[in-house]
Chain A
Amino acid sequence: MNIFRLTGDLSHLAAIIILLLKIWKSRSCAGISGKSQVLFALVFTTRYLDLLTSFISLYNTTMKVIYIGCSYATVYLIYMKLKATYDGNHDTFRVEFLIVPVGGLAFLVNHDFSPLEILWTFSIYLESVAILPQLFMISKTGEAETITTHYLFFLGLYRALYLINWIWRFYFEGFFDMIAIVAGVVQTILYCDFFYLYVTKVLKGKKLSLPA
């Protein structure tokens, strides 16, 4: 564990909690892409099956359980409890265009052709594009609530910090996982446009609205 991975995990946890609290307190999921949240729940489910097979550490297990629990709670709020506030008309990204290619790639490019490894690889590839429905929805509605931009900022920051973590681990431990690194770079690049808007607008107290 290093400071970059720890702050990355805490940033990820912050994002997940911010979103869950925003939906729970405002009793509304307006502006939130339910499709992205379903993809994240799928990412955590396929990635953390090792909860059933191996114990790494209390921290590892605790965080995985929290991530899975919060993501399913968020999906439950969006599609069940607060369904009336779900803005389905703007959440129209064709997720099958993500899941099918990612599923195919996971079979072709992986470290080991075993069920757990392929599912882990699928989750890594899927996570790198899972935010696209949310970014697409914001481009369609033309704006995003400020709390939603904070959610996206911490979500994007977490994988950017993981990139630094991988540089750190390569340099000090000689460890590197090319699949996670390439997917992490793609994932972080997808946030660049948002990061620019976040820094130039939201941090100056303006509302995030598109076109910029």
Chain B
Amino acid sequence: LDDDFGKDEL
């Protein structure tokens, strides 16, 4: 699971 994936929008 790559850690730069995070989406800031819900």
The reply to whether A50 and B9 contact each other, CB–CB distance below 8 Å, is: no
- Residues of B contacting A49 with CB < 8 Å? 1
The reply to whether B10 and A116 contact each other, CB–CB distance below 8 Å, is: no
Q: How far is the CB of A108 from the nearest CB of chain B, in Å?
A: 20
Residue of B nearest to A64 (CB): B10
The reply to whether B10 and A52 contact each other, CB–CB distance below 8 Å, is: no
**Cα distance A102–B2 in the bound complex, in angstroms:** 23
- Specify the main secondary structure of chain B where it touches its partner: loop
User: Among A29-37, A55-63, A83-91, A138-146, which stretch is in contact with chain B?
Assistant: A55-63
Residue of A nearest to B6 (CB): A54
The reply to whether A63 and B5 contact each other, CB–CB distance below 8 Å, is: no
The reply to whether A60 and B5 contact each other, CB–CB distance below 8 Å, is: no
Could you mark each residue 65-91 of chain A with 1 if its beta carbon is under 8 Å from any beta carbon of chain B, else 0? 001000000000000000000000000
The reply to whether A116 and B1 contact each other, CB–CB distance below 8 Å, is: yes
Q: How far is the CB of A129 from the nearest CB of chain B, in Å?
A: 18
The reply to whether B10 and A12 contact each other, CB–CB distance below 8 Å, is: yes
Q: How far is the CB of A157 from the nearest CB of chain B, in Å?
A: 15
**Cα distance A9–B1 in the bound complex, in angstroms:** 26
**Cα distance A14–B9 in the bound complex, in angstroms:** 17
Q: How far is the CB of B9 from the nearest CB of chain A, in Å?
A: 7
| Pairs A-B, 3 closest by C-beta atoms | A54-B6, A53-B1, A116-B5
- 4 new A-B contacts, CB < 8 A, other than A50-B5, A54-B6, A180-B9, are A12-B10, A52-B1, A56-B8, A57-B8
A-B contact pairs, 16 of them (CB 8 A): A12-B10, A50-B5, A50-B6, A50-B7, A53-B2, A53-B5, A54-B3, A54-B5, A56-B6, A56-B8, A60-B6, A116-B2, A117-B5, A120-B5, A120-B7, A180-B9
